[in-house]
Amino acid sequence: MYRQGDVLIVPVDEEAVAPHVAVAPRERRDARGRLVLALGEVTGHAHAVVGPGDLVREPGPFGPLLLHLPQGGRVVHEEHAAIALPKGWFRVIRQREYVPGSVRIVAD
C-alpha cells in the first residue's frame, strides 16, 4: 500500500480487475501529460502519475479509480515526496470524512 496525503494507492492482482475495465473509458491526461489522481480544490496542486499508463474511473459518487502502470511510474505532488510504483494494477482511493448524515471527499 502507498499513501500520499489524502490518496491511498492499493495494489490489485490482475485477476481481480473486472472484465469491463478493458473496454471502459480512460481518464484524459492533464496539460502537463500527467494522470491526475486527485486535484486539490484549495491549493490547485495535484496528486498525479507520470509515466505510461491508464486511469479508469469506476461508476458512483465515490467510485474508485483503477490505475494500470505497465512499466511502473511515479506519483508526484508539489508538497509531498514522489512515490515510485512498480508495474501493475492499483486501486486509488480518496480519503473520506464523515459529516453527520453524509460522507464527503477530503479536500487539501
Q: What is the pLDDT of residues 33-63, one digit of tens each?
A: 999 998 776 666 888 999 899 999 876 655 6
Whether residue 32 has pLDDT greater than 70: yes
| pLDDT score, position 68 | 95
| pLDDT score, position 23 | 85
> What percent of the chain stands above pLDDT 70?
77
Bridge partners, residue 57, by sequence: 65
Which residues lie closer than 8 Å to 37 by C-beta, 6 or more apart? 7, 9, 46, 47, 48, 49, 55, 65, 67, 75, 92
Whether residue 10 has pLDDT greater than 90: yes
- End-to-end CA distance of the chain: give it in Å, rounded: 21
The tens digit of pLDDT for each residue in 72-87 reads 999 998 888 999 999 9
